Amino acid sequence: MKRHETLQPLSREHQKGLVLAKRLRDSSGGSGQERDRALAAFTHAWNRELMGHFADEERIVGPLVSLEMRSRLLAEHAELRTLAAQAAEPGAALNPAFVEKVGRTLHDHIRWEERELFEAAQETAPDALDALHPVIDDIHARRPGSRPYDPEAGCEVGGREEEAGSSDDATSTP
């Protein structure tokens, strides 16, 4: 099933999350320095995009699916929040099994959302997703990684800075 337009920003972010999960899993068999860099990338992504991504999924998708799916969504998000806090602690990269667990948990969670959660929301609540369409602009404005990629421009497109002019313009507001 084609991804509903309202869910597309979240799906685009999932692609980046899968790359991050692979990096974490791959680094678990590498040096401490590789694990440290992978966890640093995860922590950076967590602070920059993943926290907001989780909140948006809980706000947008959570109410549209069964109680069982919503409960699983919240439980997996809670687990990943705990792992993110642990990943930010000094010395976290010293434990290869921990780094592998973060990568595996993130990967499995994203796959479940794409294969089951988003599909269920699309099947059971397409009208509600249509009504939520205005949230796309808000997500794009807050998280550039959610925007469609324009190969000709070589970057993501969309968001408030395009509407207000250059993002370098000191007078534009986010």
pLDDT tens digit string along 29-76? Answer: 999 999 999 999 999 999 999 999 999 999 999 999 999 999 999 999
Looking at residue 174, what is its pLDDT? 34
**Segment 151-171 mean pLDDT:** 44
Q: Which residue has the higher pLDDT, 110 or 139?
A: 110
Looking at residue 134, what is its pLDDT? 81
Domain count, the chain: 1
Buried b (16+ CB within 10 A) or exposed e, 30-65: eeeebbbebbeebbebbeebbeebbebbeebbbebb
| Whether the predicted pLDDT of 155 surpasses 60 | no
Confidence class of residue 167 from pLDDT cuts 50, 70 and 90?
very low
Q: Give the containing element (helix H, strand E) for 155.
A: strand 155-156
Q: Kindly list the distances between the CA atom of residue 43 and the CA atoms of 12, 59, 67, 81, in Å, as whole numbers in the listed order.
A: 19, 23, 30, 11
- How far from chain centre, in Å, is Cα 21? 11
Is 122 inside any structural domain? yes
Is 18 inside any structural domain? yes
Is 124 inside any structural domain? yes
Q: Whole-angstrom Cα distance, residue 119 to residue 102?
A: 25
Is 142 inside any structural domain? no
Is 68 inside any structural domain? yes
Q: Whole-angstrom Cα distance, residue 140 to residue 160?
A: 8
Is 171 inside any structural domain? no
Is 76 inside any structural domain? yes
pTM higher than 0.75: yes
Strand partners, 155: 150
Confidence class of residue 90 from pLDDT cuts 50, 70 and 90?
very high
Residue 10 φ then ψ, to 5°: -70, -40
| Whether the predicted pLDDT of 158 surpasses 90 | no
Q: Whole-angstrom Cα distance, residue 3 to residue 39?
A: 30
Q: Which residue has the higher pLDDT, 137 or 114?
A: 114
Residue 101 φ then ψ, to 5°: -65, -40
Question: 97 is in which domain, residue-wise?
Answer: 5-133
Q: Whole-angstrom Cα distance, residue 102 to residue 76?
A: 12
Please give the mean pLDDT across all residues of the chain. Answer: 86
| Whether the predicted pLDDT of 111 surpasses 80 | yes
Q: Whole-angstrom Cα distance, residue 10 to residue 113?
A: 10
Is 114 inside any structural domain? yes
